[in-house]
Structure 1
Amino acid sequence: MTIGGPHEKDFVPLLDVVFDWMELFRYLQFGLLWLVLGVASSIGLGSGLHTFVLYLGPHIALFTMKVVQCGRVDLKIAPYVTVQLKTGPSWMDRNCTEYGPPLFSSQQGSRLPLSSILPQVQLEAILWGIGTALGELPPFFISRAGSELEVMKELDSSSTKDGGVVPNPLFDLAGIMCGQFGIPFWTFFISTMIAKAFIKTHIQVC
């Protein structure tokens, strides 16, 4: 038996606040996961952890196989639901009948257009791509700092010795060259992010 009263009015908004914070935490966890995996993939001149092959690629493949099997793309309860985080009832473990009848079907079976599947995995792919762009920043900053240091040495030194920054082979060569030639930070980073997060990543996803 429950007794209604004024306390119910205070309790419902409190629950809403708790769930809002939980939702925000899940989005932050989701974003951080794919950013970190992107950084891990980008470090060391591509010799870092190949997180596209290990994480993002399998996630996209499993989701694609499931939506083709079920004939519909609305399998996620929220954008942050991934195999890695196991947030909410995973779409992998649920039966297709729980989602309802197929929305895409033909005589040959379920056929889903790429334009319907892509938006469902686009957020994690873009976050991963931004992470790979962030992974290019250390060689850029180190090369630029080394270049500025060499200029200061040349100004302070009376000798005319040839000198330069010896690039570490583990650093990304493009970042090193941009830092060496004084490319502005935002020009380098925005160009890298557009190329990696929106062009290269979408090619890989497709």
Structure 2
Amino acid sequence: MDYSKLKVSELRQRLRDRGLTTKGIKSELVSKLVKADKMYQQTNTKVSLKQLITANGSTRPEHKHLLSDRRERELQRQERASLTLWRKPLLTTYYFWLEICVIIVGWGHRLWLNKKKVSFGLSVFLLLSIICVLDGPHQEYLNSTWAKLSWCVYWIGLGILSSVGLGTGLHTFLLYLGPHIAAVTLASFECQSVDFPQPPYPDEIICPKEVPEGAVITIWNVISKVRLEAFMWGAGTALGELPPYFMAKAARLTGEDPDNEDYAEFESFMENSGEKQKDFVTRLKFAVQNLVQRVGFIGILACASIPNPLFDLAGITCGHFLVPFWTFFGATIIGKAVIKMHIQKFFVVLVFSEHHVETLVNIVGTIPKVGAMVQLPFKEYLEGQKAKLHHKPGTYSKQGTNWLSWIFEKVIIVMVMYFVISIINSMAQSYAKRLQGEQSKKYRDK
């Protein structure tokens, strides 16, 4: 269709109908519509476009219906994508709360259907609560076990948030685990020991009162000190990779389209696997897919053992080709929680070891004009951190806020806020998807 013959108001109306932005001059509006038409023609269908055309050039009726359904779903995806707090704040917030209500009702219904299991679980919980309240020598072991368990659950939860994120991952390694490893590293070299008093460690790090003469701290000592939290965080990231795997596996077994953007992208890869790809990212995605598909356990292990933002595609590939669960999850947890975490720990510990930090601060001071100005707060921050290590628990008074700490705190706040906003958008779009499914069902019933 020649969109250039339409008026600007008509072009904008067509863009609104497709959930696209309407800003720009006429040529830009025309370009957006042309690109949208091309995208519709290349919609990710289980039946390729070559199969939709018969020998005489006509389209089969059943294929017409299938193609129209695919285009309708693509329009619905675009409409849902426009449902964000910065575009439609009131509607997005309203759908968000409705989705929460739907989830609560759904969980309540599941609990009601499993009354026996729920009753058993409540009985066990009540029994454990009574045991925890009663005084006795067992309290020491309970407190120790509870502290260790809560510490592990905390890092597993952060790992899950990093890889799932309900639409976008929260970079919990950069925000939490990385700084924790860095703090332990700095403290270890300052104290010449990793035997921090417990408690207050891990809530607070202070140097032990007595340190053996001639004690030498190595990188491996620090790595061993943070091994538990690093492993739990890595295990959490492995658990977060399961939803794409189960989604793709269910779609393959049932034959139903899950209407998921990542799965649609995977199907597009499958259709275009024989074509030569020029884009580097696309070639990289094909490489991950082929490695997982052809090599199996070793391929999954290789993809999981290196920082790989495309690992979701590996999970979808394993689910689509019905790779056994323990083959996928076993390789994933070994790669992420053991191999990759040791690589990341080694890098962080190496960078924040005492002599490397001092060298870095000296290098900052050699920067022309601003070096001395930037070097001073770095030195103050390191001196402040070292001073905290040599005080008694509860006696250290904060001497003011360093601007480096202030910036880091604000970065954390911004990233957490963005994460929360993404959750709200994702849940609102999920409710919109429910409404679209109900409307489509009513239309088909008619």
- Structure-to-structure mapping, 1:1-80, within 5 angstroms: 14-43=135-164, 47-77=168-198
Higher helix share: 2
User: Does structure 1 residue 144 correspond to structure 2 residue 144?
Assistant: no
Amino acid paired to 2:174:
V
Cα offset for 1:99? Answer: 2.5
Match of 2:238 in 1: 133
Amino acid paired to 1:99:
K
| Number of residues of Structure 1 aligned to a counterpart in Structure 2 | 166
Q: Among the aligned pairs, what percent are the same residue? A: 42
1:116 corresponds to which of 213, 221, 224: 221
Cα offset for 1:17? Answer: 0.7
The 1-side partners of 2:228 and 2:184 are apart by 14
Q: 1:31–1:16: structure 2 CA closer, same or farther, 3 Å change rule?
A: same
Contact 1:72 1:104 in 2 (8 A): no
Higher relative contact order (CA 8 A, sep 6+): 1
Match of 1:99 in 2: 209
TM-score (ref. length: structure 1): 0.72
Contact 2:234 2:333 in 1 (8 A): yes
The 2-side partners of 1:102 and 1:123 are apart by 25
- Mark the structure with the bigger radius of gyration: 2
Cα offset for 1:101? Answer: 3.5
CA distances 1:114-134 after superposition (whole Å, capped 9, x unpaired): 111111000000000000000
User: Does structure 1 residue 168 correspond to structure 2 residue 287?
Assistant: no
Q: After the TM superposition, which of the residue ranges 69-78 and 22-31 deviates more from structure 2? A: 69-78
Could you tell me which runs of 5 or more consecutive residues in structure 1 were left unpaired when the two chains were aligned: 1-13, 106-110, 154-163
| Aligned-residue RMSD, C-alpha | 2.7
Cα offset for 1:64? Answer: 0.6
The 1-side partners of 2:177 and 2:321 are apart by 34
Contact 2:241 2:312 in 1 (8 A): yes
Contact 1:129 1:196 in 2 (8 A): yes
User: Does structure 1 residue 192 correspond to structure 2 residue 356?
Assistant: no
Contact 2:152 2:229 in 1 (8 A): yes
Cα offset for 1:76? Answer: 4.5
Say which SS state the counterpart of residue 136 (structure 2) adopts.
Answer: helix
Could you tell me which runs of 5 or more consecutive residues in structure 2 were left unpaired when the two chains were aligned: 1-134, 264-310, 347-446
Cα offset for 1:19? Answer: 1.6
The 1-side partners of 2:191 and 2:319 are apart by 49
Say which SS state the counterpart of residue 336 (structure 2) adopts.
Answer: helix
